[in-house]
C-alpha cells in the first residue's frame, strides 16, 4: 500500500512539473522574441548582455516612425476580417447544402475542394501577377488580397463547417421546413445559433490563417494593400544584423494574433475538431 501512495505522490508532483517544463520550452522562442525586442541592435548580439541590459523602446519608436507599422497593421486587419466574412458568407450555405442535402458526390466535392489547397502557388505566381496587373488592374488592391485570402481558406472553412453542421439532427431542419421557414431563415435562425461554437472556431481559424499568409500577400502587393507579412519580408536582414529591430517588427506583427488566440483558447480547445470527435 505504501508503495502505491508513494507512486501516486510522485506522479502528482512529477506530472505538473513535466507539463510546465514542456509548456515553457514551447513558449520560450516567443518569449525570447519579445525579450530581444527591448534590446538595441548592438546589445542583442553581445553574449554578456544576454540577460543584463538596459531595456529600450527605441526599436518600437523606430518602427512606427520609419516603417509605417500602422498602415501595414490596418491592412492586415481589414483584409483578414473581410476575407473571413466573405469565406463564411460563401461557406455557410455550401456547408449547409452538403450537410443536409448530401448527394453521392458530396464527399468527392469536399475532397476536391481540399485538393485545390495543394496546388503549387509558385507555379501560378507568374500568370497570376500578369493577369491581375495587366488584364484586371487589381494588383496591390485590398480587393485582390481579400479575394485571394478568401479563396485559399474557403476549402478549410467549408470542411470545418460541414463537420459541425453534420452533427445537428436532421429532424430539426426538417421540422422547420414543415413550418414553412425559408432556407435563409433556416440558416439564420436555426443552423447558426445551433452551431454557433463551430462557426466561431471556424471564423477564428480562418482569421489566423489570413493574418499569417505570406506567399500571396507578399507577392501580389507593393504598397497600398501591403500587410504585416510584407513588413516582415522587408525587414529580413542578413544574419546577425539588426536582431533588435527584427524582433520588434516581428513582435508587433505576431502579438495581436497570439493575444487573440489566448482569449479564444477555450473556444479553440472545444471547437477545433475537424470532425475528429464523434
Partner 1 sequence: MSDRSIPRLLQTPAVILLLIWMIVPLSMTLYFSFIRYVLNNLRRPEWTTPSPSNWRGFGNYEYVLNAKDFWFAIQNSVFIVSSILILTVILGLGIAVLVNRSFPGRGIVRVLLISPFFVMPAVNAVLWINMILDPVLGLQGIAVDGMNSLVAGLRDFPVLGAFFSLWPEIEPISFRATQTSAYAVIMMVTWQWTPFAVLIFMTSLQSEDESQKEAATLDGASPWSQFINLTVPHLARPIAIVVMIQSIFHLSLYAEIEIVSRGNGNKNLPYLIGEFASNNIGAASATGIFAVILANIIAIFLLRMVGKSLMD
Question: Cα torsion for 91, 92, 97, 102, to the nearest 10°?
Answer: 70
Span 204-223, contacts to partner 1 by CB under 8 A: 208, 211-212, 214-215
∠ CA 98-104-108, rounded to 5°: 70
Which of 84, 153, 221, 247 is in the footprint of partner 1 by CB under 8 A?
A: 247
88-117: contacts with partner 1 (CB under 8 A): 90-91, 93-94, 96-98, 100-103, 106-107, 109-111, 113-117
Is residue 210 within 8 A of residue 149, CB to CB? The reply is: yes
Please, what is the minimum distance in Å from the beta carbon of residue 140 to partner 1? 19
Q: Which is nearer to partner 1, 18 or 223 (CB)?
A: 18
Q: Are 271 and 198 in contact (CB under 8 A)?
A: yes
Identify residues 11-70 at the interface with partner 1 (CB under 8 A). Answer: 12, 15-16, 18-20, 22-24, 26-27, 29-30, 32-33, 36, 45, 47, 50
Contact 76, 211 (CB under 8 A): yes
Out of 146, 154, 191, 210, which residue is the one contacting partner 1 (CB under 8 A)? Answer: 154
Output the smallest distance, CB 55 to partner 1, in A: 17
The two most distant CA atoms of the chain are separated, in Å, by: 80
194 binds partner 1 (CB under 8 A): no
Burial 207-231 (b: 16+ CB within 10 A, else e): bbbbbbbeebbbbbbeeebbbbbbb
As a whole number of angstroms, the distance between CA 246 and CA 63 comes to: 10
Q: Does 192 bind partner 1 (CB under 8 A)?
A: no
Interface map 160-189 toward partner 1 (x if CB under 8 A):
-----------------x-----x------
Return the residue of 79, 153, 221, 250 that touches partner 1, per CB under 8 A.
Answer: 250
CB of 210 to partner 1, least distance (A): 11
* Cα–Cα dist 218/68, whole Å: 16
Residues 116, 121, 124: CA angle, nearest 5 degrees: 100
Q: Kindly write out the interface string for residues 119-138 of this chain, putting x where it contacts partner 1 by CB under 8 A and - elsewhere.
A: xxxxxxxxxx--x-------
- Residue with cell string 468527392: 108
Pick the piece of the chain touching partner 1 (CB under 8 A) from 77-85, 137-145, 149-157, 188-196.
149-157
Closest separation in Å from C-beta 2 to partner 1:
19
DSSP 237: P
Q: What is the C-alpha separation between 208 and 61, in angstroms, rounded? A: 26
Question: Roughly how many angstroms between the first and final C-alpha of the chain, as a whole number?
Answer: 39
Nearer to partner 1, 95 or 225 (CB): 95
Amino acid at each position: 500500500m505504501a508503495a502505491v501512495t508513494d507512486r501516486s505522490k510522485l506522479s502528482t508532483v512529477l506530472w505538473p512539473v513535466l507539463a510546465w517544463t514542456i509548456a515553457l520550452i514551447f513558449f520560450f522562442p516567443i518569449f525570447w522574441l519579445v525579450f530581444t525586442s527591448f534590446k538595441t541592435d548592438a546589445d542583442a548580439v553581445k553574449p554578456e548582455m544576454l540577460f543584463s541590459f538596459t531595456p529600450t523602446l527605441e526599436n518600437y519608436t523606430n518602427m512606427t516612425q520609419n516603417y509605417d507599422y500602422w498602415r501595414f497593421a490596418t491592412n492586415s486587419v481589414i483584409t483578414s476580417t473581410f476575407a473571413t466574412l466573405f469565406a463564411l458568407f460563401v461557406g455557410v450555405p455550401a456547408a449547409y447544402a452538403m450537410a443536409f442535402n448530401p448527394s453521392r458526390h458530396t464527399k468527392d466535392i469536399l475532397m476536391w475542394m481540399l485538393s485545390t489547397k495543394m496546388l503549387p502557388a509558385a507555379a501560378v505566381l507568374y500568370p497570376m501577377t500578369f493577369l491581375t496587373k495587366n488584364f484586371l488592374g487589381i494588383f496591390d488592391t485590398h480587393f485582390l488580397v481579400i479575394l485571394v485570402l478568401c479563396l485559399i481558406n474557403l476549402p478549410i472553412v467549408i470542411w470545418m463547417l460541414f463537420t459541425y453542421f453534420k452533427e445537428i439532427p436532421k429532424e430539426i431542419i426538417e421540422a422547420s421546413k414543415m413550418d414553412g421557414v425559408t432556407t435563409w431563415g433556416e440558416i439564420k435562425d436555426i443552423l447558426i445559433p445551433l452551431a454557433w461554437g463551430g462557426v466561431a472556431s471556424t471564423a477564428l481559424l480562418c482569421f489566423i490563417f489570413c493574418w499569417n499568409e505570406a506567399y500571396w500577400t507578399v507577392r501580389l502587393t507593393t504598397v497600398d494593400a501591403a500587410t504585416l507579412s510584407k513588413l516582415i519580408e522587408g525587414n529580413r536582414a542578413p544574419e546577425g544584423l539588426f536582431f533588435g529591430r527584427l524582433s520588434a517588427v516581428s513582435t508587433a506583427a505576431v502579438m495581436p494574433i497570439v493575444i487573440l488566440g489566448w482569449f479564444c483558447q477555450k473556444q479553440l480547445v472545444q471547437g477545433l475538431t475537424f470532425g475528429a470527435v464523434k
